[in-house]
A = this chain, B = another copy of it.
Amino acid sequence: MANNAPIGVFDSGVGGLTVAREIMNQMPNEEIVYFGDTARVPYGNKSKDTIIGFSRQIVKFLRTKEVKAIVIACNTATAFALETIKAENDIPIIGVVKSGAKVAAKATKNGKIGVIGTEGTINSGIYTSYLKQWKDNIQVFPKACPLFVPLVEEGLLYDPVTIEIAERYFSELKGHGIDTLVLGCTHYPLIRHTLQKVIGDDVQLINPAYETARYLRRVLMEHDLLHEPAKTKEHLFFVSDGAEKFKGFANTILPCKVQETKDINIEQY
């Protein structure tokens, strides 16, 4: 596998761009092939079998682009499909859960960690099991927050309605006295300032997107797969629907300019 091959990154839609952004910031030499499954978004309320089927199609597509590693930049897809995809592929496959869980387990002082995410991620229990791998005497308080994704996609990042919804979702978590909160959905870093305000400054927010990019860097180094410095590089963006809308959103999030996004028929893969 050539070092200068791109890294595949996929998500149900735009959320995974927060992971792509961290990779671009931390590894400016790397090239990314991003796929957003905008025709079938959201993943959070769909079943395990459905998400495994979707993930397989996307991985098949990304491998046609000769990627050297794949990041599943979606918590739900990581929760449901990471192990299957890993078993079926011979390149490094990285999910967004493990690194975030590790850092959260290290960060907590009182051993009480909150985890927020979609229904799929929360009901899968994946964060709880990873967190308990790192530290035995940890108490995990998971909470599904299904309205955050539509609120983010509506652009209500600092809105009183988002604050009101966050207050409801967090009232239980606050009662448990958590000192650490894992943002278990790739959309949530976009409202981290609002979430911090509601949960309070004494609770540390953990952003798995950031930790995942750090972990990816280590994995690429171990496999001797880091990209060499290059004069020009190009990121590629694909979606299953609504390329223009995606491009607009991507350009508000990413540190680079997205010139083009292509629509593909993912059901063919």
Contacts and interface: CB of A to CB of B under 8 A. Distances in A.
Interface of A: 38-40, 45-47, 50, 146-147, 150-151, 153-154, 160-161, 164-165, 240-242, 245, 263, 267
Contact of A47 (B40, B146, B242): B242
Closest 7 CB pairs of A and B: A150-B150, A50-B241, A46-B241, A39-B50, A40-B40, A47-B241, A267-B267
A150 B45 CA distance: 11
Contacts of A47: 241-242, 263
Number of copies: 2
A41 to B, nearest CB: 8
A39 B45 CA distance: 9
Interface centre among A46, A146, A240 (most CB of B within 10 A): A46
B242 A45 contact: yes
Nearest to A162: B161
A151 B161 contact: no
10 contacts: A39-B50, A46-B242, A47-B242, A47-B263, A50-B241, A146-B150, A147-B150, A147-B154, A161-B165, A164-B164
A177 to B, nearest CB: 26
Contacts of A45: 242, 245
A46 B39 contact: yes
A247 to B, nearest CB: 14
Contacts of A147: 150-151, 154
Contacts of A245: 45
Contacts of A39: 40, 46, 50
Contacts of A165: 161
Contacts of A240: 50
Nearest to A38: B46
